[in-house]
Amino acid sequence: MIRVQKVRLYPNKTMKKVIDDLCDYRRYCWNQGLALWNDIYDSSLILDDKLLRPSERKVRDELVANKEDWQYLLSARCLQLAISDLGKAWKNFFDKAQPDWGKPKFKSKKAPRQGFKTDRAKIINGKLRLDKPRGIKAWYDIRFKGAKNLEGELKVVSIYRENDKYWASLPFEVEIKKKIKTGKNSAVDVNVGHLNYTDGKLNTLPNNLKRLYKRIKYYQRKLAKKRVVNGKKATQTSNYVKTRAKLQRDYRKVASIQHDIIHKFTTELVTNYDQIIIEDLDVKKMQMTHVASKGLQRSLFGYFRQALTYKCNWYGKKVVLADKYYPSTQRCSKCGFIKTGEDKVGLNGNQKHRTKHDEYICYECGAIMDRDENAVANLLALLN
């Protein structure tokens, strides 16, 4: 299995310059490769010849043959891996089933996140060593912080710069022991602010997150006022930069807290249960309703599903996806009655019958239950 660890890098001035140059070079290779790929693709359409269509090898060989002198001072793997990723992006362009389907786009130097990849990095004495091009004398290993149990074979390393800080994703190929089978199953009903499962409820919006979101809202308002001063852009002023740094710091804290909650919960699930069933929600369509779009975005439904899926693959457990149209909320877990039309339970309850948002009342058998507990019971019934 591939296990990835995200670490914070602390390069010296020389290696900062090296990383910045490699980030710029990666963007240059991507844009040059994409421009060439577009030209070859357009020519093949005009001539209506499939043999002339672009490929990863054609574009890479063309760029390598036309290398400038300054390019030999930078890692050759940066160009190779950039074109490899470009080839994958073009394959996705022909697969409309992809969630972010679309034609590859050019990279901008104004993007807040810049990075590159290398498959020749090594960890020497607890430090990260990048591959050194020929003719370069000044070269140093990079300190990093945040890693645990660096074991296994190091694969393609992604290094990026964001908000003047440097980070690296270290993927290790490791052998993971399977978890002991427990013979128990569970269902998880995802909601805005909490997750309900067989043995209880997990709060995904604790008080410390609420305080951070209030601060984020405050800094966003301050930035909105500072963007334009007397009709001129003020985005480069020292006060604007300080406020933006505080906003970015709070966003990082929010992400760390949320990821910690999700990882602890998913680890608990794969440890205690053999099969976990979750809903296959269309989150993008749900966000278009604008009723709880901000809450849906903050609840990290997609990240929860992603973490649970790969941990189940690691430890030999099974994730079951309920059908997207399975009425887990509308169905009564006691008698099987399904609410339709004006009787349906929405995010704000039911206006016709004046029920609360967390209340489920069956009009067939008269059962009164908690809405989320009823949904968990319905999902669990699919495993039996």
Q: pLDDT for 234-276, tens place per residue?
A: 556 778 888 888 998 999 899 999 999 999 999 999 999 999 9
Q: Tell me how far apart the 2 most distant CA atoms of the chain are, in Å.
A: 81
Band of pLDDT at residue 129, cut at 50, 70 and 90:
very high
pLDDT at 284: 62
Alpha-carbon gap, residue 129 to 121, rounded angstroms: 6
Q: pTM for the complete prediction?
A: 0.77
- Report the length, in residues, of the chain: 384
Phi then psi dihedrals of residue 368, to 5 deg:
-120, 120
Please classify residue 50 by burial: count the beta carbons closer than 10 Å to its beta carbon, then call 0-12 exposed, 13-18 middle and 19+ buried: exposed
pLDDT at 178: 86
All residues at 6 or more sequence positions from 312 whose CB lies less than 8 Å from its CB, including other chains: 270, 276, 318, 319
Distance of CA 356 to the CA centre of its chain: 34
pLDDT at 204: 87
Nearest to 157 by CA among 116, 125, 124: 116
* Lookup result for tokens 């909105």: 224
Q: Where are the domains of the chain?
A: 2-173, 185-322
Instruction: Decide: helix, strand or coil at residue 187.
Output: strand
Buried b (16+ CB within 10 A) or exposed e, 244-260: bebbbebeeebeebbee
> Is 22:120 a contact under the CB 8 Å cutoff?
no
As given in the structure block, the two tokens for residue 180 are: 């002991």
Q: pLDDT for 273-323, tens place per residue?
A: 999 998 887 666 665 565 566 666 677 888 888 899 999 988 889 999 888
pLDDT at 285: 62
Q: pLDDT for 175-224, tens place per residue?
A: 888 888 998 999 998 888 888 898 888 888 889 999 999 999 999 998 88
Q: pLDDT for 44-65, tens place per residue?
A: 888 887 778 889 999 999 999 9
> Is 380:347 a contact under the CB 8 Å cutoff?
no
